[in-house]
Amino acid sequence: MTHPKKKLIAGNWKMNGSLAANAALVAALRESVGTPSCDVAVCVPAPYLAQVQGLVDGSPLALGAQDVSAHAQGAYTGEQSAAMLKDFGVRYAIVGHSERRQYHGESDDTVAAKAAAALAAGITPIVCVGETLSEREAGHTQEVVRRQLAAVIHANGHCISEIVVAYEPVWAIGTGKTATPEQAQAVHAVLRTQLHHAAGDLAGRIRILYGGSMNAANAASLLAQADIDGGLIGGASLKAPDFLQIIAAAR
Ligand code: 13P
């Protein structure tokens, strides 16, 4: 049995924005978002959490972070704990984005520990998985995403139904090359099966987002797929009209 669930549209601003730009973007979103039929979040750079917490207050926009420390506190220069994020009203934290795996050497186990830290603080981790172009071309897509997700399931088995998964093929991120709806659905179905083995019926309520050059033009066809429960949007989330169109496409 699956549970009814709202789709989730999450913007990942990555390392973009300023006090002025954030204020303008959130104001434009608030003005036109109305009462969306999906959940909506903006994942903002850490220095702007306090600002954006205020900007989204009383709106349908939830606040998200782009990373979280695996550690609770202490000598971890430059990191932010889940409890600190919680202090600023953070509801979601992206973990294991491919840019962090690639540029910061985050391993599957580190990503799993970050997901656990978020869950322990009552923050929903958005766990990113995805293959590189060479992995896809070598026929290893399923093996890679299953390995990445398995680490998170292993470390969080008892509360795995509380996570959000994001399938982000690395070759589609920021490249303008989107996975076709069929390519994405095929991987989402693999992930859903894996979640079913781990969580039984509860797997039906876990949202699996697609990310990678999702935009106003292609969102509806991706979101129409059976196992695509939302989107994690980079570039298009920085333009209010585009992000609003993606939100409108998520019913
Ligand atoms: P783009 O939408 O810019 O391709 O980025 C996707 C992404 O990495 C979201 O986390």
Is residue 3, in this structure, part of any structural domain at all?
A: no
Is residue 202, in this structure, part of any structural domain at all?
A: yes
Is residue 138, in this structure, part of any structural domain at all?
A: yes
233, 238, 239, best to mutate for ligand 1 pocket (most atoms within 8 Å of CB): 233
Domain holding 128: CATH number?
A: 3.20.20.70
Is residue 55, in this structure, part of any structural domain at all?
A: no
Average pLDDT along the chain: 96
How far apart are alpha carbons 175 and 122 in whole angstroms?
34
* Identified catalytic residue from 99, 106, 168, 188: 168
Q: Which atom of ligand 1 is nearest to the CA of 99?
A: 8
Distance 128 CA to ligand 1 centre (A): 11
- Report residue 17 as tokens: 């924005």
Tens of pLDDT, residues 62-116: 999 999 999 999 999 999 999 999 999 999 999 999 999 999 999 999 999 999 9
Is residue 217, in this structure, part of any structural domain at all?
A: yes
Give the Å distances, CA to CA, from 217 to 104, 177, 185, 201, 220: 32, 13, 18, 33, 7
- Number of helices (H) and strands (E) in the chain: give both, helices first: 10, 8
Tens of pLDDT, residues 180-202: 999 999 999 999 999 999 999 99
Residue 1 has pLDDT above 70, yes or no: no
Looking at the 3D structure of the chain, how many domains does it have?
A: 1
- Report residue 27 as tokens: 């104001």
Residue nearest to atom 2 of ligand 1 (CA): 234
How far apart are alpha carbons 91 and 164 in whole angstroms?
12
Give the Å distances, CA to CA, from 96 to 51, 69, 93, 161: 25, 11, 10, 18
Q: Are 145 and 131 in contact (CB under 8 A)?
A: yes
How far apart are alpha carbons 242 and 250 in whole angstroms?
13
> Residue 31 catalytic?
no
Considering only residues 157 and 115, tell me which one the structure prediction assigns the higher pLDDT: 115
Is residue 54, in this structure, part of any structural domain at all?
A: no
Distance 75 CA to ligand 1 centre (A): 31
Average confidence (pLDDT) over 206-228 = 97
How far apart are alpha carbons 168 and 212 in whole angstroms?
6
> Residue 140 catalytic?
no
C-alpha angle with apex 85: 82 to 91, nearest 5 degrees?
95
C-alpha angle with apex 228: 184 to 135, nearest 5 degrees?
25
Is residue 4, in this structure, part of any structural domain at all?
A: no
Is residue 113, in this structure, part of any structural domain at all?
A: yes
pLDDT at residue 77, rounded to an integer: 98
For residue 30, the enclosing domain spans 9-48+60-249
- H or E element in which residue 221 lies: helix 219-223
Residue nearest to atom 7 of ligand 1 (CA): 234
Taking the chain, what is the end-to-end CA distance rounded to the nearest angstrom?
A: 20
Tens of pLDDT, residues 6-58: 999 999 999 999 999 999 999 999 999 999 999 999 999 999 999 999 999 99
Residues 6+ apart with CB under 8 A from 74: none
